[in-house]
């Protein structure tokens, strides 16, 4: 059974007020045993927009759903054409101060696991350990027929060979803003002639980025791995996520049921605020380096 995609959430009354005081978060992190749950807000300083913030991509872009992708060749052609330019932008993105702060807290023995909803690979690039990429990674491609996994760099080479001149023709759109799912807006005329390639392993299979699309379920073994990280945590620290989709919110609810404190650092209210001991409303690029300085002193 596929989940229905949740693209929006509107806060209701009765949510606890936010704070700009980091002291409670510092105290919890200093005690150790932290599991981090990170979202798109952590990558905005790397040039990748979030989904739902003030300048979030959902204000101008509706992500392709799993059902659309598997539903026909035109949708897949549109995805891979737009993703061909988006992939370039994603590979240019570099970890920011927030990613480096999470890594530093891990190296200090205070963060013992990271669950990220992001598919950009920036936690890994920053050197963080014990990461579960909840929604997968754009760096991998999976065949929906034979299950073969391959590197996105390999597919990039094949798509460029199959579409000579495409990137030059789309040059006017190269500066378009990349979305969190690696997509870049392109007009229909720019994608109409794009050729999609089949799986190199089986010869005929449909290729999909190894990420969880809206409307697709997270693999159960991945959910279980995240659940184990939460179960052994002293505190669950949410960074840069509105927690709109259940795939991330479920871990906040799990922590609450188990009596594990939940702390949230995010600009704007989240769907998990009612279960949080505290939400700190500060930019992550400001809050996380300060958190490292104070918790590790």
Residue listed under structure tokens 């003030």: 54
Contact yes or no for 275/252 (Cβ under 8 A): yes
Contact yes or no for 115/251 (Cβ under 8 A): yes
State yes or no: 71 annotated in a binding site. no
Q: 195: how many CB neighbours lie within 10 A of its CB?
A: 13
Per-residue CA distances from 161 to 72, 110, 157, 165, 195 (Å): 23, 47, 6, 9, 10
State yes or no: 86 annotated in a binding site. no
State yes or no: 12 annotated in a binding site. no
State yes or no: 51 annotated in a binding site. yes
- In the DSSP assignment, the letter for residue 265 is E
State yes or no: 283 annotated in a binding site. no
State yes or no: 42 annotated in a binding site. yes
What's the N-to-C CA distance of the chain in angstroms? Answer: 49
State yes or no: 140 annotated in a binding site. no
CA–CA gap between residue 154 and residue 176 (Å, rounded): 24
State yes or no: 240 annotated in a binding site. yes
State yes or no: 44 annotated in a binding site. yes
State yes or no: 40 annotated in a binding site. yes
- Phi, psi (degrees; rounded to nearest 5) at 141: -130, 140
- For residue 9, is it left (φ>0), alpha (ψ between -120 and 50) or beta? beta
Describe the crossing of helices 152-162 and 73-92 by its angle, rounded to 10 degrees: 120
Distance of CA 32 to the CA centre of its chain: 24
State yes or no: 99 annotated in a binding site. no
* Pairing status of strand 235-239 against strand 34-38: parallel
State yes or no: 43 annotated in a binding site. yes
State yes or no: 118 annotated in a binding site. yes
Write down the catalytic residue from 135, 148, 157, 173: 135
Starting at the edge strand found earlier in the chain, the sheet holding 136-143 runs 149-151, 136-143, 207-211
State yes or no: 19 annotated in a binding site. no
Q: 29: how many CB neighbours lie within 10 A of its CB?
A: 25
Query: Within a 13 Å sphere around the CA of 192, how many CA atoms are in the beta-carbon half?
Result: 4
- Concerning whether 135 is annotated as a catalytic residue, the answer is yes
State yes or no: 58 annotated in a binding site. yes
State yes or no: 41 annotated in a binding site. yes
State yes or no: 34 annotated in a binding site. no
Enzyme catalytic residues: 135
What residues form the annotated binding site? 39-59, 117-120, 143, 146, 199, 202, 240-242, 266-268, 284
What residues form the annotated binding site for Zn(2+)? 143, 146, 199, 202
What residues form the annotated binding site for NAD(+)? 39-59, 117-120, 240-242, 266-268, 284
């Amino acid at each position: 059974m596929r989940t229905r995609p949740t693209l929006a959430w509107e806060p209701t009354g009765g949510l606890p007020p936010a704070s700009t005081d980091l002291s409670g978060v510092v105290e919890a992190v200093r005690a150790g045993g932290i599991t981090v749950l990170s979202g798109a807000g952590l990558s905005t300083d790397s040039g990748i927009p979030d989904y739902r913030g003030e300048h979030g991509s959902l204000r101008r872009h509706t992500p392709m759903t799993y059902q659309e992708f598997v539903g026909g060749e035109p949708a897949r052609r549109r995805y891979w054409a737009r993703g061909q330019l988006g992939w370039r932008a994603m590979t240019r993105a570099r970890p920011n101060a927030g990613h480096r702060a999470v890594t530093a807290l891990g190296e200090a023995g205070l963060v013992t696991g990271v669950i990220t909803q992001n598919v950009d690979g920036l936690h890994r690039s920053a050197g963080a350990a014990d990461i579960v990429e909840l929604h997968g990674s754009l760096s991998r491609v999976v065949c929906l027929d034979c299950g073969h996994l391959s590197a996105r760099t390999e597919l990039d080479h094949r798509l460029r060979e199959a579409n000579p001149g495409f990137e030059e023709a789309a040059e006017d759109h190269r500066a378009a803003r990349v979305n969190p799912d690696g997509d870049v807006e392109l007009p229909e005329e720019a994608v109409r002639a794009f050729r999609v390639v089949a799986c190199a392993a089986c010869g005929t299979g449909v290729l999909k980025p190894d990420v969880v699309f809206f409307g697709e379920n997270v693999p159960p073994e991945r959910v279980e791995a995240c659940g184990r990280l939460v179960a052994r945590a002293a505190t669950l620290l949410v960074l840069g996520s509105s927690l709109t989709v259940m795939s991330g919110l479920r871990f906040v609810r799990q922590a609450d049921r188990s009596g594990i404190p939940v702390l949230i650092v995010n600009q704007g209210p989240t769907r998990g605020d009612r279960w949080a001991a505290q939400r700190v409303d500060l930019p992550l690029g400001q809050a996380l380096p300060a958190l490292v300085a104070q918790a590790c002193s």
